[in-house]
Structure 1
Amino acid sequence: MSGHSKWATIKHKKGALDAKRGKTFTRLIKEITIASRQGGGDPDANPRLRTAIAAAKAENMPADNIKRAIQRGTGELPGATYEEISFEGYGPGGVAVIVEATTDNRNRAVSEIRHTFSKNGGNLGEPNSVRFMFSKKGIIAIPKEQADEEKLMNIVLEAGGDDLNDEGDTWEIITEPSAYEAVAQAVRDAKIETTMSEITMVASTYTKLEGATANQMIRLLEALEDNDDVQNVYSNFDMDATQMEEVAG
């Protein structure tokens, strides 16, 4: 497991996301609102909304919060009008980075993201400068003590997943986005706890970073993720697991 997925798994382990629950809820509410605006408020007929609601429930978001976010998206309740913006660029060591933002102020978002890149050893690139290196996949990371390989492989095969990878102390299920919801539900039905479960962007190749360059890359990721407009950050960096644990601590 490299880059974004490894980093996200470690942050889950250490409870870093729990400390930012407010940020997590804000990100999910924006996603629900936009999904409702674009595809309607019925999750049965709106796959993006269905996925967003499942993610919100996984974070124990109250049902009333989800309902209000849907109603703001469909126009039943007043609320901010969000715009989706995607940025592509390079981090320390030439690592490819994609940033997905949802904002009510485009100029502010562009200025802040550009500043964050330059302040942390990176720079923004042109559209499609790095996106070709990534493909959208569902990833479900499971601690090995939660389930054995045979049990998980049966879930992958029966629910339509693509692959099951051994990532040291973690199993990693890979799915196509269209199969993600069914596989994630099968894992939940089996009462198996996960450290990460989401649709993300997976790189085709990875760039290994070490020492100060690796630390600078982590600082860039953290700075981007701390921005209130940023929804998701994807990269193709890899680094030694021990160093990543130390940085995450």
Structure 2
Amino acid sequence: MGRIFETRKATMFARWNKMAKVFTRITKDIVIAVKAGGPNIESNPALRRAVQNARAANMPKTNVDAAIKRASGQDQADYQILLYEGFAPHGVGILVEAATDNVTRTVANVRFPFTKLGGSMGTAGSVSRLFERMGAIRLDAEGLNAEELELELIDHGLEEMGETTGEKGEKQLLLRCKFADFGKLMSAIEAKGIATASTQSEYIPLPGTLKELPEDQATEVLKLVDMLEQDDDVQHVFHNLA
């Protein structure tokens, strides 16, 4: 086990510190999960993951309950999960995962940052072929024996585990598995009584696809990433900038 690879974040940008955006993203995750699998947390793994993320983000329980209730009603809009592909300046691949109730609005909003900041939208498969979709689970590292945990979880789908840090600099463990094994690995962690800091699916660059850039060019790429993340319809942005 070592320090696990994570795509670089733009430390000069503080947009993800805006709690309202985080709550909006989690609320959409809850709505999508309820629409797909019902409001019962015990029988709906996707909803359980969304609620766990809400707790980790200190989202009030009243907000969580309200989102579940709204999603169970007839008036709640359905969200589509869409994956847009494109290239940032200097050939860096970008995947934009969006949840939207208005595709026309969202595609226009996603295209604008690419056009404005010197990138371009790609065709289906032009960028996604450079990535693998995986399940990602973050755990608070305090009190955990990482080596023992790694050995115990290998039979439950664990592909890789390493050290990382949370939003506040706290030590965490990042576990990854094949996306098909996401539920199995989550169940094994829950059975051990270990609380998760966050869970999500991620698109991880395949070996040999990372782009090394000098700092000034990397900053141009990260400005595009940040502008994309500011859109309310965008859930996650993935890239292969080293």
Asked whether the two chains share a fold, i.e. TM above 0.5, the reply is: yes
Aligned residues of 2:77 and 2:101 also touching (Cα < 8 A) = yes
- Residue 152 of structure 1: how far off its partner (Å): 4.2
Determine the C-alpha separation between the residues in 2 that align with 1:71 and 1:142: 29
Determine the C-alpha separation between the residues in 2 that align with 1:38 and 1:143: 29
Following superposition of structure 1 onto structure 2, how do residues 2-41 of structure 1 map, counting pairs within 5 Å? 2=5, 4=7, 6-7=8-9, 17=16, 19-41=17-39
Partner of 2:70: 72
Question: Given the superposition, is the C-alpha separation of residues 85 and 224 from structure 1 closer, same or farther in structure 2, using an over 3 Å criterion?
Answer: same
Asked whether 1:130 is paired with 2:127, we answer yes
Partner of 1:201: 203
- Residue 147 of structure 1: how far off its partner (Å): 5.0
Aligned residues of 1:98 and 1:234 also touching (Cα < 8 A) = yes
Question: Given the superposition, is the C-alpha separation of residues 208 and 162 from structure 1 closer, same or farther in structure 2, using an over 3 Å criterion?
Answer: same
Asked whether 1:87 is paired with 2:84, we answer yes
Percent identical residues: 31
> How big is each residue's C-alpha offset from its partner over 1:132-161, in whole Å with a ceiling of 9 and x where there is no partner?
222222334568777554344345347652
Matched letter for residue 202 of structure 1: I
TM-score by length of 2: 0.79
Determine the C-alpha separation between the residues in 1 that align with 2:65 and 2:186: 20
Asked whether 1:223 is paired with 2:220, we answer no
Question: Given the superposition, is the C-alpha separation of residues 131 and 85 from structure 1 closer, same or farther in structure 2, using an over 3 Å criterion?
Answer: same
Partner SS state of residue 9, structure 2:
helix
Structure with more of its chain in helix, by fraction: 1
Partner of 2:110: 113
Partner of 2:168: none
Following superposition of structure 1 onto structure 2, how do residues 152-167 of structure 1 map, counting pairs within 5 Å? 152-154=149-151, 156-157=153-154, 160-165=157-162
Partner SS state of residue 109, structure 1:
helix
Partner of 1:181: 186
Question: Given the superposition, is the C-alpha separation of residues 59 and 170 from structure 1 closer, same or farther in structure 2, using an over 3 Å criterion?
Answer: closer
Aligned residues of 2:15 and 2:230 also touching (Cα < 8 A) = no
- Residue 105 of structure 1: how far off its partner (Å): 2.3
TM-score by length of 1: 0.77
Q: 2:60 aligns with which of 59, 62, 77?
A: 62
Partner of 2:97: 100
Structure 1 vs Structure 2 CA RMSD: 3.2
User: 5+ unaligned residues in a row in structure 2: which ranges?
Assistant: 166-170
Determine the C-alpha separation between the residues in 2 that align with 1:120 and 1:42: 43
Partner SS state of residue 123, structure 2:
coil
Determine the C-alpha separation between the residues in 1 that align with 2:191 and 2:92: 35
> How big is each residue's C-alpha offset from its partner over 1:194-217, in whole Å with a ceiling of 9 and x where there is no partner?
6x6533111113111223210011
Which deviates more, 171-180 or 118-127?
Answer: 171-180
> How big is each residue's C-alpha offset from its partner over 1:160-180, in whole Å with a ceiling of 9 and x where there is no partner?
522224679875422232344
User: 5+ unaligned residues in a row in structure 1: which ranges?
Assistant: 239-249
Aligned residues of 2:49 and 2:199 also touching (Cα < 8 A) = no
